[in-house]
A and B are shown apart, each in its own frame.
Chain A
Amino acid sequence: DADVTQTPRNRITKTGKRIMLECSQTKGHDRMYWYRQDPGLGLRLIYYSFDVKDINKGEISDGYSVSRQAQAKFSLSLESAIPNQTALYFCATRGGGYTGELFFGEGSRLTVL
């Protein structure tokens, strides 16, 4: 089983709908992240969390919200989806220290019509 699991892997929805992307991890890491990937733009940080009570906005948090339900679970919500939120979304976790790397899930491809 993957260490970082994202659901759903693919989702097509309509403008104005609420959508939730879920992430769970078995690595025991405190730090979790949500990124968005768009062609030519690389990865952009949406939100990050250092523990259950610590949630921080990234560079593109507008239109998104998150919930850290437990150390192992970090969900991303789009309250009212719009077409320019069509993208590939990645959850990641990170171990201790500034030298530790990010561990990524396989991604959730979201299409908003």
Chain B
Amino acid sequence: GDSVTQMEGPVTLSEEACLTINCTYTATGYPSLFWYVQYPGEGLQLLLKATKADDKGSNKGFEATYRKETTSFHLEKGSVQVSDSAVYFCALSDRAGNQFYFGTGTSLTVIP
């Protein structure tokens, strides 16, 4: 069945460091791919998404490119800030649009 595997954390970075959180997926057909972010004490909110191969999603300085050939959707940011400290979830939606499949989440802490 469909699934998502993402890099385990926790990840600790200094402010202004580069971030990459790896995410790979298994799916039949062409799913839509998403990154969600969960700030402390809050619900999940959409960070970015891509709905077809080679699409790049971007928001708040974060980017991820839908790579069909490597079945990946890695999250990147060139310079992280303390305010980026959160848990990040990779997810996919199957082609039928019925269900979402989430990775286990990667906790990021950015220190000044």
Contact = CB atoms under 8 A, between A and B. Distances in A.
A12 interface: no
Nearest to B105: A42
Given A90-B44, A101-B34, A104-B44, A41 B94 contact: no
B58 to A, nearest CB: 15
> Most chain-A CB neighbours within 10 Å: which of B34, B49, B96, B98?
B98
Interface in B7-38: 31-32, 34, 36
A92 B32 CA distance: 17
Interface size class of A (residues with CB under 8 A): 20 to 34
B89 A42 contact: yes
Interface string A23-40: 000000000010000001
Contact of A98 (B45, B46, B96): B96
Interface residues of B, number: 25
Contact of A105 (B34, B43, B96, B97): B43
A97 B43 contact: no
Contacts of A4: 43
Interface string A84-113: 000000101000011111111111000000
B38 to A, nearest CB: 9
B42 A106 contact: yes
Contact of B89 (A43, A45, A92, A97): A43
A31 B100 CA distance: 12
Interface string B34-66: 101000001111100101000000000000000
**Most chain B CB inside 10 Å of its own CB: which residue of A92, A98, A105, A106:** A98
